[in-house]
Structures are given as structure tokens and as C-alpha cells.
A and B are shown apart, each in its own frame.
Chain A
Amino acid sequence: MSDLRNSRWFGATLALAWLVAVYLVLPMVIVLPVSVTDQRFLSLPHHAISFKHYTALVDNPVWLSSIWRSLLVAGISTVFTVTLGTLAAIGCWRIASRSSEIVRAVLLLPMIVPSIVHALGIYRMWINLDIIDSFFGVILAHTITGIPFVVIAVSAALSNFDVKLERASRNLGATMWQTMRWVILPNIVPGIGAGAVFAFVHSWDEIVVLLFIAGRKIYLLPRAIWDGVHENIDPTIASIATILIIVTLLVMLGERWWRSRSVAVET
């Protein structure tokens, strides 16, 4: 295909693809200079670079406490989501019948139903259960809506795992739990890890259900950003956005580095 690659058509396509890539990262790049503006409104720095919006962030207990609460909620719901999702994925994989296929489709529902629709239902039910605006209520909602992400990641890992190994283990007299612990789980750790990352990010970023079921008491970071964006004057949000962008970037680069290293070790 070398002649195709050298043709002017491909040159134009290549340029277009990189233009799309620029469009994808441009907004993230622009947040950084805005976060160090010397102005009191959202703009590029006019005269000098200033870190006052970062100090404002550190000095503001509302921002800091919302970050800690979000970490806590995301951490706890990830543990529950991963446990429930992994067990269910293993069960469906091993049963592998028509009914387990249907069950797996049901487990994926929270990903298919729009957030706004389940937010209404959960809001109403949480009022009836009297768990509105409570840690328990938010963690419960995030656990349930995060299950599909874990089921997908773990199912993908299981599809590469030979079911005969499980049968061999059972035939040799291991119980279901021993087989789980010593045969299945060690082989799907990467899938569980990926599921955990998805579950954590899901809870950490979730805003739609949160708007309904949490208020002033459980004030999490997405809500703080949401309110800040609607008030729309304060460059402190640009500084928190910059921190989130940099953390995302570091995690992604770290993951690539780790993966390339483990590939190098294997070969």
C-alpha cells in the first residue's frame, strides 16, 4: 500500500486526522495558561503569571473537603463494585447458558439506560428509603451504576482464559471457592484491575445521579465543579481542572510505561 501512503489523498487524510487530534486536546491545553492568569476572571494572563488561584484552592476548605469526600466515596464504591461485578462475571462465564447470557445483559443495563432516567428513579426510591444526601446512599448508587464496567472488563479477561483449567481443578477435587482463589482469580487480575479503574473513574466523575441524590451534606468534587461552572467567574476551577488534567496525563503515561516495561520483562 506504499503508493497509497505516498499519494496526496493520504497526505490530506493524515493532516485531517492530526487536526482532529488537535481539536481533541486543545481544550485541555488551554486550561493550563488560564489557571495561572493574573486576572480575577477566566482569561489568559494579561501582565504576569500568578499562582493565586492555586493558593485560593488550597485555602478553601470547601474544595479540599469535596476532594477528600470524592476519593472516599469512589474508593469504597470501587471495592463493592469490583467484588460484585467480578463474581457475577465469573458466574456467567462458567454457567454459559442462555439464561446466563440474559443475566449478563441485565447487568449491563446501567450503562445503556441514560443516567437521567435512572437518576429520576433512584432519586425517588432513595427518598422513600430515607438515604437521600447520605454517604451510604451515594456509595450505593455508584456501586450499582458501576457494575457494568467491571462485568465488561472481567468478561473480556475471562474470554481469554481456558475453561478446561477450571474443570481440571474441579475434577482434581478442589471446591468452587478453592478453584476461584487459586485458578481463576490469578489469571484474570489484569481484567479486574481494569474494571477497578473504570469503576473508580465512574464514581469520581459521576454528576447526573449526584445532582439528584446529594446536596449540601455530601458535597462531592463534581458537584463543586458543577456549581462553580454555573457561577462561571472564578478561575479557581481552572486550577482544579488543570490538576485533574495533569493527574490523568500522569496516570496514562505511567500505565504505558508500566505496560512497556512488563512486555520487555516477558520477552
Chain B
Amino acid sequence: MSPLSSLRASYWILVLPALLLLAALYAVPVLSVLWLSVTIPEPGLANYAQLFTNETIARVLVVTIRVCLISTVITLLAGYVVAYVLIHVSERQRQYLLFFVLLPFWLSVLVRSFAWLILLGRQGVVNDTLISLGMIDQPLSLIRNEFGVIVGMVHYMLPYAVLPLFAGMRGIDGRLVFAARGLGFGPVGAFWRVFFPLSLPGVVSAAVLVFVMSLGFYVTPAILGGGKTVMIAEYIAFNILENIRWELATMLASVLLITIFAILFAVSRFFDLRRMFGAAA
């Protein structure tokens, strides 16, 4: 070993404490979840067969996928508009808009879900206002259903979409849009033919980030779904905290984990994941 590389090797001592702690007290417990899913109550894939036979589980999975897809699409559309405006307005307006985007980012997810509960509940501010204005007679059901969960999830995810979209769009050379305009495209044509294709890598990063995060979401669906709209994370927790059924909970947790890593692996074949998550952080 050359002296230079042994010098570099000495830096492993800095990495070891975190790595060992993570290996012993993080990797081991997470792997044990996977292990339990194929060993209790007896070795085999019997727990996984329930994915196809158990109707409750099937319903939870369908709700999870539907809610996550809808939230991801809405989050991306809204996030794209905000990011697009962020790079086109004056510095002053950009600072205000960014502040609005980042304020919820720093606020506890519990407080945010609670705030939506106040707004959307049966006797919430929205229903109260609509009734006192005479626009409706009966309060609308805005929570304890997928609508409420999606409203809360989009609210949580938006900053995570805006930041990578904004970072991606900042890298687009504005002169290209000018050139397209000079070549005779209208503002809309220049956007769709030039700006939008160039912004697609940012859209893909944001989409993957938002969708993967939303799959394992627990707090918002649990509070705004009110036990009616149950997604996979809440159902896993329910199967440990209320209904002690480790075989079911570890199987669903493994399915969730494997799905997320499969998505990330598939995307990493086409995109540089490190840059994606670097841009989001």
C-alpha cells in the first residue's frame, strides 16, 4: 500500500462509528422484518399468499396505490406551476413565494394534519362558512375519505416537488426559449416544444421522490382518513399496536420496502439517483 493510500485509509476510522451503529441497530432490525415475514408462523411464503386471498388487504393496497397516484399527479402539476413561476418572477417575488413554500416544509406534519382537520371537519371552518353563506344545508364530508387524505398529502409533498423542479428549471438556458420565439413559435409553442422537454428530468426526479414517499405515508392518512380510508402504513401499525399480528405486519412492511427499492432500482437504470436526491436535499 502506498503511503498516500494508507493516509486515505486512516479516514475509515471516522466512518466506522456511524457505520457500525447503523449496521447493528438499524440494518439488523430492518432485515429482521424481512426475515420474520418468511419465517413466522412457519417458514415459507404463506404470508404473501394473503396478498391475493385476503380482501381487506386487497382493498388497502388498492386505496394506497390510487391515493398515491392521484396525490403525485396533483402535486406535480401544482409544483410545476410554482417552480415555473419561481424562475420567471423578480427576485423579490421569488423570495416571498419560496418562503410560502418552505414554511410548511419546516412545520410538524402533525400540526399540519391537525390544521386540515380544523378546516375540513364536519363542524370545520369550511363547512361552517358555506352553511352560514347559505350555499349548502348539510355539512359536506371532506375528511374521513380519500378527498381529505389527498388534500393533506398533496400539502405535505408540495415542497418536496417544488425544490427539485425549481433546481432542474434553473439549469435550463433561457436563451433557448428566446431562440424558439425568434424562430416563430408563440409563447405556448415555445413552452411545449422547448422548455417543457428540457424540464422533464426534474419532473421525473420529483415524481419518483413524491410517489415513493407517499407510499409509506402514515401520519396524514391516519389523521385525515379517520379509520375510513386506510393506507398500507396505517394498516401495518394497526396490525401491531391493536391486533398483534406480526406475520401480517412484517409481510406488508416487506412488500412496501421491496416495492420502493424496486422502483428506485428501475429508475436508477435511466437516471442518476444521487443527483436526484442531492437536488431534493
Contact = CB atoms under 8 A, between A and B. Distances in A.
Contacts of B13: 91
Given A109-B27, A125-B32, A84 B100 contact: no
Interface residues of A, number: 93
Interface string A143-164: 1110100011100100000000
A9 B219 contact: no
Contacts of B115: 27-28, 30-31, 241
B270 interface: no
A237 interface: yes
27 contacts: A1-B174, A4-B181, A17-B81, A18-B97, A23-B78, A24-B104, A24-B155, A31-B114, A42-B123, A88-B15, A88-B18, A95-B8, A95-B11, A100-B15, A103-B15, A103-B19, A107-B22, A110-B26, A114-B218, A123-B240, A124-B32, A147-B18, A205-B109, A208-B218, A211-B241, A229-B114, A252-B102
A20 B89 contact: no
Contacts of A114: 215-218, 233, 256-257, 260
Contacts of B217: 114
Interface in A94-138: 94-97, 100, 103, 106-110, 112-125
Contacts of B158: 20, 24
Most chain B CB inside 10 Å of its own CB: which residue of A21, A144, A208: A21
Nearest to B177: A1
B183 interface: no
Interface in B190-240: 190, 212, 215-219, 223, 233, 236-237, 240
Contact of B30 (A3, A31, A96, A117): A117
A12 to B, nearest CB: 10
Interface of B: 7-15, 17-19, 21-23, 25-33, 36, 78, 81-82, 84-86, 88-89, 97, 99-104, 106-119, 121, 123-125, 128, 155, 158-159, 174, 177-178, 181, 187-188, 190, 212, 215-219, 223, 233, 236-237, 240-241, 249-250, 253, 256-257, 260, 264, 277-278, 281
Interface in A14-60: 14, 16-18, 20-21, 23-28, 30-31, 34, 41-44
B106 A252 contact: yes
Given A119-B237, A229-B114, 18 more contacts: A20-B82, A23-B155, A30-B119, A43-B123, A91-B14, A91-B15, A95-B8, A107-B18, A116-B216, A118-B29, A122-B29, A143-B21, A144-B21, A156-B278, A207-B109, A207-B110, A232-B117, A248-B107
